[in-house]
Amino acid sequence: MNLPEIVLSYSKFFYACFLKPHSGDNTGNQQDALESFYKAQAAVYDSTRGRLLHGREDMLGLVAAQLIQEDLTPKPVWIDIGGGTGWNIEQMAAYVPVNEFFRAVYLVDLSPSLCDIAKARFARLGWNNVKVVCQDARYFNLAEHEAEAENLLLDEKAVVPRRRTSFYSPGSNNIKPGVDLITMSYALSMIPEFYPVIDSLSSLLSVNGIIGVCDFYVQSRVDYRSRNYTGGVTDRHCNFWSRTFWRTWFDVDRVNLEGARRDYLEYRFGTKLAVNARNSILGVRIPYYIWIGCSKDKPEMENTLAEMDAAATESPFLAALDLQTQNQNQLRRVESFEARSKAYESAIVNLAGKLPLPCFWYQNHHWRIFYDEKLQKHRQFKDEYIYAFTWEDSRIDARTLKINSNDVILAITSAGDNILSYALERPKRIHAVDLNPSQNHLLELKLAAFTALPYSDVWSLFGTGKHPNFRKLLVEKLSPHLSSHAFQHWLLNGDAVFGRKGIGLYYSGGSRHALTLTARLFKLLGLQDEVRRMCNAQTLAEQRDIWKRSLRRVILSRLLSWTVVSSEKWLWKALGVPKQQRDVIEADYVHQADAGKPVSPYSRNYGHAIWEYVVNTLEPVVNETLLRDDNHYYLLCLQGEYTQRCHPDYLKPTSHTKLHAENAFDGLRIHTDEIMEVIERISPGTLTIAVVMDSMDWFDPESEEARKQIRAINRSLAAKGRVLLRSAGLKPWYLAIFEEEGFTGKCVGERIAGRCIDRVNMYASCWLLTKFREVDGEKAMSPLVELSIGDSALN
């Protein structure tokens, strides 16, 4: 459009919206009022709404991705309620070929002027499967139109491969007709009697159908804070002034922003995805939302509840036949276990109140277990993960644990790298646990990427840590494989991390502080070329020479250690090291002094214990491991990305083949909670491996919490079950408690001055603890009983 056309268009828009009365003929007739409002601006409607009506493209992309994921056969039917000029339907062509993908499309709108524009649009496009219906949405009856629509397209060949059967089947007499997709963009807020319209949509939608809504809203947290089915409350609250202003402003144009419209929508359907956003225009921020839903009541829901609960708790329901062969004492112990998963408990409460289930139940994958995002224990992380990459050597884990297909593993999520390494071994089940929701959001993103994307895209995201089309990938490819909470997180934060102008994955999260500080120091001191040489050194001799010549004096500076690294705030924020773990390091330092070993004369109060620990970590790494070829952990720290030569095992092309396979992650459950909470809800004697990383260092030696967790781990483990842990101490204080509570310990790695314990070398020791008796037993089990119980638990 040229300037005169733009001026004319916005003049008509301004006149129709703010100057011209549009009350119709004062009879209260909604169609007459709408026509009074739209007739003067129908021709310029599309050209003037682009900046005002945000989120429509995203909504269309999200529902298209869901439809493709659903694999509907025959071709789906789509109803666009309040479709106006048909802009939505034409824009859908950016995601699927509308004229071929859909069997029939119905545009339903009450304004004759807008419907005329729509008819002209589809005549121009030549889309003969689209029908414009000028009608009140409350009275739209699909059956009246389907008899005619059945003859529109005889070719039922699908555009994309599909397997599942749609709820609607043309010509079927025993199944109620239903549509596969319903959309509404900026229409619900303009419908006076919205309750019957939403009820009508609920009856129209098929059991496997998708509904997408985008609209303005304002709401206070008081209205929704007790609900667990909203799909996430990030940025949903609008303050008093925002609520008052926008309600008053939009009321002039008969646009009603009361929260009941969105509330009733969420009540009548199940929530798959929800986004709360702000449209910044002319210096103001207008609240709007995107919501993707589905039928809240499905025939198979009861079985799904039972199966998902069993998987989350390792219930005997999973292996009823195995129970018959178990030792009777073990059998009685399992049968007395009645704990349920938090997901199941929340579902039962909602069903009793005839409410939709929490959004996690409506996801396409049941990886993520329900959690309450509003609890302070989750909010303390301020929607940020600490670790963007995992600091445990996966090679040592594989060598030590020897994971097989019978293993049931519980492990801390961290950045998820270790979880993917375990998944490559195809164990029976993996329970990933982390109290920080954002760490689990990162793991979900990795699972979605391996499920939906080719290797090149996966490498861009997690190899180089950036992708120029991240937002497009998120909406069109990854969204069907993410929980609503994870999708919200990445829609709001993803571009700042992965986008063209993003900082990159490995310069994000709490760990970014360490990498960023180091990079800035190198830049300030003019050592960037030396860093590149270090990362490309082809021999250990060359690498050691560069280290000694230039980099060592910066990284191992005592001044840097005393002023920054030894700070409690720095250790926690940048490296995730709490005070208790720092005390473990300092205790070892003092013990060496008491044993007469040579230590620095500098006072511990100035952080020399930390400096000594850092020296013992980094010096052996440089001397014994070649960063360029075989130490992706420190290569990443120096250059902020992996290389095709040196990267984690899960980023190998062959690993992508395994993890991209159908059902590759069916055995994975992601728990957002404390380890103790998860363990106490898992059936006794069902875990075979527990990987707790260095989390035991975090306990206070004066508290009984460590003993309680160790006893709980014992109860959850099968006979001969193993615990793998790492510690900042050479012989951590809690080992004695493990021995008292039925474990035998074996040190599988001890850091000796000048030698590496593994490629990370971050921990002073690594331990494998094996269960040899029950937590409440008085003596060890006999070998025969031990073998019998252990074998049956592994089946």
Q: Answer whether residue 121 is part of any domain.
A: yes
- Whether the CB-CB separation of 78 and 183 falls below 8 Å is answered with yes
Q: Answer whether residue 548 is part of any domain.
A: yes
Mean pLDDT of 551-566: 70
User: Same domain for 103 and 248?
Assistant: yes
By residue range, what is the domain housing residue 270? 56-295
What pTM was computed for the model?
Answer: 0.86
Q: Answer whether residue 446 is part of any domain.
A: no
Share of the chain above pLDDT 70, in %: 79
User: Same domain for 35 and 172?
Assistant: no
Tokens read off for 794? 């592994």
User: Same domain for 219 and 137?
Assistant: yes
* Amino acid at the residue 202: S
Last residue of some domain: 580, 605, 639? Answer: 639
Rounded CA-CA distance 18/248 in Å is 13
User: Same domain for 116 and 10?
Assistant: no
Q: Nearest Cα to 293, choosing from 66, 74, 447?
A: 66
Q: Answer whether residue 676 is part of any domain.
A: no
Q: What is the CATH number of the domain that holds 267?
A: 3.40.50.150
Average of per-residue pLDDT values in the chain = 83
Rounded CA-CA distance 357/231 in Å is 10
User: Same domain for 117 and 198?
Assistant: yes
Domain count, the chain: 3
* Three-state secondary-structure class, residue 586: helix
- Whether the CB-CB separation of 417 and 442 falls below 8 Å is answered with no
User: Same domain for 18 and 148?
Assistant: no
Mean pLDDT of 66-82: 87
pLDDT of residue 274: 97
Q: What is the DSSP string of 406-472?
A: T-EEEEE-TTSHHHHHHHTT--SEEEEE-S-HHHHHHHHHHHHHHHHS-HHHHHIIIIIS--TTHHH
User: Same domain for 17 and 89?
Assistant: no
Q: Nearest Cα to 685, choosing from 732, 729, 717?
A: 717
Q: Answer whether residue 663 is part of any domain.
A: no
Last residue of some domain: 295, 330, 350? Answer: 295
Element of type H or E holding 646: none
Q: Answer whether residue 550 is part of any domain.
A: yes
Rounded CA-CA distance 587/591 in Å is 6
- Whether the CB-CB separation of 397 and 406 falls below 8 Å is answered with no
Mean pLDDT of 687-715: 93
User: Same domain for 20 and 96?
Assistant: no
Last residue of some domain: 639, 655, 688? Answer: 639
pLDDT in tens, 127-180: 999 999 999 888 888 888 776 544 433 344 433 333 333 333 444 444 455 899
Q: Answer whether residue 123 is part of any domain.
A: yes
User: Same domain for 43 and 168?
Assistant: no
User: Same domain for 241 and 201?
Assistant: yes
For residues 664 and 519, the model is more confident at 664
pLDDT in tens, 600-625: 444 444 457 777 888 888 999 999 99
Q: Label residue 160 exposed, middle or buried (CB < 10 Å: 0-12, 13-18, 19+).
A: exposed
- Whether the CB-CB separation of 279 and 288 falls below 8 Å is answered with yes
User: Same domain for 94 and 119?
Assistant: yes
How many other CB atoms are found less than 10 A from the CB of residue 124?
A: 9
Q: Answer whether residue 585 is part of any domain.
A: yes
Rounded CA-CA distance 609/561 in Å is 10
Rounded CA-CA distance 129/97 in Å is 12
For residues 210 and 39, the model is more confident at 210
Residue 369 has pLDDT above 50, yes or no: yes
User: Same domain for 166 and 34?
Assistant: no
Rounded CA-CA distance 244/219 in Å is 10
